[in-house]
Structure 1
Amino acid sequence: MEHKKKVAFYTLGCKLNFSETSTIARDFQKEGFDRVDFEEIADIYVINTCSVTENADKQFKQIVKKAMKRNDKAFVAAVGCYAQLKPEELAAVDGVDLVLGATEKFKITDYINDLSKNDMGQVHSCEIEEADFYVGSYSIGDRTRAFLKVQDGCDYKCTYCTIPLARGISRSDALENVLKNATEISQQGIKEIVLTGVNIGDYGKGEFGNKKHEHTFLDLVKALDAVHGIERLRISSIEPNLLKNETIEFVAQSRTFVPHFHIPLQSGSNDVLKRMKRRYLREVYTDRVQKIREVMPHACIGVDVIVGFPGETDEHFLETYHFLNDLDISYLHVFTYSERDNTEAADMPEVVPMNVRNKRSKMLRGLSVKKRRAFYESQMGTLRTVLFEGENKEGYIYGFTENYVKVKTPWDPALVNTLHNIKLTHIDEEGSMRMEFVNNYVV
């Protein structure tokens, strides 16, 4: 009997990429392939690329090299955002056989009838205008929580961002399909679903970029809250101008949505926000944070911020620093600005020197440590629910509370993927929260 062909995957970038890799992997399994770990010998290696990460091309080359080391006869395919933006560049990398753009990545199994190596990678990319249809996806079997894609693409024109060029216009999954996927996930025994997309607050735009919203993001949240079998739902990242009071109020009293928001700010200076063509000013951001704190004082609020954007003076940066320092938030994701081809910002004057960018980045990372510590301290002594992860890390098992406090306790395999009521007791030297079980009560 002919041996089953083996396929391995490597995912760079965001939760959305993880959900799409998982869906592509299931397609391979339906075609009779065995999925193996990327560290193993495979017949095909699929790399899902990202355009946001620094040195995306360098990272990609290293991953291809790893695959070739394991099996120099393996077929290597590149999909994802970087494959859409710079297909020829990826195709020229030694060892790459196939590069698929945004419209083709979900048809990958149609392209690999012949697994013989090519001298030069074949490119099947598209004009991004053609990416006007929606392919639903979710990740499962990779971790304790599942990433459920509900939306793709973006209609915003932020001056630093290539995502609209890589993923096309904003479009959404049909509500009934999202609910069907959520039900499938819950039937696999997964306890937490994270909603993901490029701009999920824009949920509801039709499949062909139809500007009319069939449903709103609030409709989606309410419908998911009623799905039987889901223990926890988490909103990944949502624009401040699209996070409405009604949604915040609903989350506060919902059955399954957890009190955790991740809201991109990008800059605390209105001058810089205008140069970035963001769709709000800092006052809107303050309102969002205050509203969350009013109805969910214990909520975790994460913030994305970019430092070193063209034209960001020392004064602008200090404005951002003080704005964040005074704001009741829980942690920061800090990005050092880096130029991207075909973006407006790449041609802007007043470029900030790299050493200044790095210094500012370091300052905000320090602020993030301080903010997280203060948030954890505010949670000491409270009763929470923790969902434990699946890994034994040096004799400990880790988990996250509903409001995203990272908890650790001695390793016990029986705790994997289970929810428990706990009391948060103290913070250890590595910054993790320690806990005690309450009545050992399993939720």
Structure 2
Amino acid sequence: MSKKVAFYTLGCKLNYSETSTIGRMFQDKGYQKVEFNEAPDIFIINTCSVTDNADKKCRKIVREAQAINPNGFVTILGCYAQLKPKEIAEIPGVDAVLGAAEKFRLLDLIDDFKKEPVEKPAEEKVYAGSIEQKLDYHTSYSLNDRTRTFLKVQDGCDYPCTYCTIPLARGKSRSDTIENIIKAAEEIAEQGVKEIVLTGVNIGDFGLINGERKTRFLDLCMALDQVEGIERFRISSIEPNLLSNDIIEFVAQSKRFVPHFHIPLQSGSPEVLRLMKRRYKRDLYIDRVNKIKEVMPDCCIGVDVIVGHPGETEDRFLETYQFLNELDISYLHVFSYSERPNTEAVDIHPKVSKKDKSTRSKMLHILSDKKKRAFYDSQLGREKNVLWEEDISEGKMHGWTENYVRVSAKYDPLRINTTMMITLEEFNENGAIEVKEVDEVLSHTLMHQ
């Protein structure tokens, strides 16, 4: 009887793409993939270490795995595993820890996934080399959701941001070839997937292969735009200094790339940006937003912001707040700064108290709600294309427009994984835009598919 394996992913879209790929490797070897709570023989936990909270989550998931099956073999992968392998190996119940270079060789490195009756010494559980070694690139994509797939196009980062551990956890920037990515996109299209989200650590830096610049992110986008069978490509996140006018203008006239950008800002204070060692100034960020809105007035623009970075005084935070308040953006992703060992920010002062971080975070969350409501308001009465997902609650199903407006309608299984043109009508109590009269539209859509 084949062994059962279950996966749990913490963190980003990139982690999801890699977990899914490793899962398919297990299935190809005859393992049975099951849910985490179905008493698997093997638990694979793919970790994140962007914040201290992610480390705590890893420990919690290990405890839950032990409660589900005390004899299950527990393997830890991912960023936390690369940064603190010995610390993880000492967690009770952990059987193996694999670093960035080793995680895709899991099935070669571990033979039978047999739990040792006696605890091994921690160092014997660790398979993790130095992040300084040359790391291979592994094509990865998720296939957990029929309507949307995360496709990894780039890994690692060469940017020395003072708060970030990702270069320490994932190594130098490196990319897949355009040919491999096109092949993966075609494989995904064969599964009936309608939307691909391009993901990576720093995807605007796409094109570095074996340390040499071979091509550009724009070249990749232009090639993907020709792939048949995929209706939408969405860019997950791109640094403002790498988001060129050429990319913006390409998306504006593209057949398949949707009008939605997520652009990390991190701070609107010039001094905090300097302390963070970010590679742009506020004026460049304003230029990017203005250019997008000039050529795509309905484009959705999301922004990452960190509150409480060392050196962020009250006045500097208010600079960020005012800067964001005046920008024509659609929503914020707000992160509270979390001190990470071996980063430069550890030595920057003054520190920001937990209370102040919480206050500032709440202010930006309220601002985000206001921005999102204003953006959704601007879309009312417009005709947009919605991709319906298998996301059902209280008799309602949900989908997303090409410009990332969440839409709700009465559940109908025939709509799942279909796209249709609808008119955005009114808000519901959950903040989505409600579409009431879709039966006639759906009939027309199905007749013409």
Bin the TM-score by the shorter chain: over 0.9
Normalising by structure 1, we get a TM-score of 0.97
1:42 aligned partner:
40
- State which of 159, 166, 177 in structure 1 corresponds to 2:162: 159
1:30 aligned partner:
28
Q: 1:131 Cα shift?
A: 4.3
Contact 1:57 1:90 in 2 (8 A): no
Cα deviations across residues 75-108 of structure 1 (Å, max 9, x unaligned)?
A: 0000000000011111111111000000000011
CA RMSD between the two structures: 1.1
Contact 1:64 1:96 in 2 (8 A): yes
- State which of 84, 87, 93 in structure 2 corresponds to 1:86: 84
CA distance in 2, matches of 1:394, 1:139: 27
Q: 2:394 is paired with a residue of what secondary structure?
A: coil
Q: How does 1:41-440 map to 2 (within 5 A)?
A: 41-118=39-116, 119-120=119-120, 121=122, 122-206=125-209, 208=210, 210=211, 212-435=212-435, 436-437=437-438, 439-440=441-442
Q: 1:141 Cα shift?
A: 3.2
Contact 1:339 1:346 in 2 (8 A): yes
Contact 1:131 1:167 in 2 (8 A): no
State the one-letter code of the partner of 2:44: V
Contact 1:387 1:418 in 2 (8 A): yes
Q: 1:261 is paired with a residue of what secondary structure?
A: strand
CA distance in 2, matches of 1:81, 1:74: 22
CA distance in 1, matches of 2:421, 2:39: 42
Contact 1:102 1:131 in 2 (8 A): no
State the one-letter code of the partner of 1:138: Y
Comparing 128-137 with 332-341, greater Cα deviation is found at 128-137
Q: 1:47 Cα shift?
A: 0.2
State the one-letter code of the partner of 1:284: L
- State which of 13, 16, 31 in structure 1 corresponds to 2:14: 16
Contact 1:102 1:125 in 2 (8 A): yes
State the one-letter code of the partner of 1:439: V
Contiguous gaps of at least 5 residues in structure 2: none
Cα deviations across residues 316-373 of structure 1 (Å, max 9, x unaligned)?
A: 1111000000000000000001100000001212011111111001100010000000
Identity among equivalent positions (%) equals 60
Q: 1:112 Cα shift?
A: 2.8
State the one-letter code of the partner of 1:164: P
CA distance in 2, matches of 1:161, 1:105: 22
CA distance in 2, matches of 1:194, 1:19: 10
Cα deviations across residues 259-309 of structure 1 (Å, max 9, x unaligned)?
A: 000000000011100100000001100000000000000000000000111
Contact 2:245 2:291 in 1 (8 A): yes
Cα deviations across residues 148-188 of structure 1 (Å, max 9, x unaligned)?
A: 00000000000000000000000000110000000000110
Q: 2:274 is paired with a residue of what secondary structure?
A: helix
CA distance in 2, matches of 1:131, 1:38: 33
CA distance in 2, matches of 1:141, 1:158: 32
Contact 1:13 1:53 in 2 (8 A): no
CA distance in 2, matches of 1:144, 1:394: 21
State the one-letter code of the partner of 1:173: D
Contact 1:48 1:78 in 2 (8 A): yes
Q: 1:228 is paired with a residue of what secondary structure?
A: coil
Q: 1:56 Cα shift?
A: 2.2
CA distance in 2, matches of 1:143, 1:55: 30
CA distance in 2, matches of 1:185, 1:143: 10
Structure 1 runs (4+) greater than 4 angstroms displaced: none
Q: 2:317 is paired with a residue of what secondary structure?
A: helix
Contact 1:151 1:199 in 2 (8 A): yes
CA distance in 2, matches of 1:141, 1:356: 39
CA distance in 2, matches of 1:16, 1:307: 24
State the one-letter code of the partner of 1:152: D
CA distance in 2, matches of 1:153, 1:91: 24
Contact 1:307 1:360 in 2 (8 A): yes
Q: 1:144 Cα shift?
A: 2.2
CA distance in 1, matches of 2:348, 2:33: 45
Q: 1:26 Cα shift?
A: 0.5
Q: 1:439 is paired with a residue of what secondary structure?
A: helix
2:5 aligned partner:
7
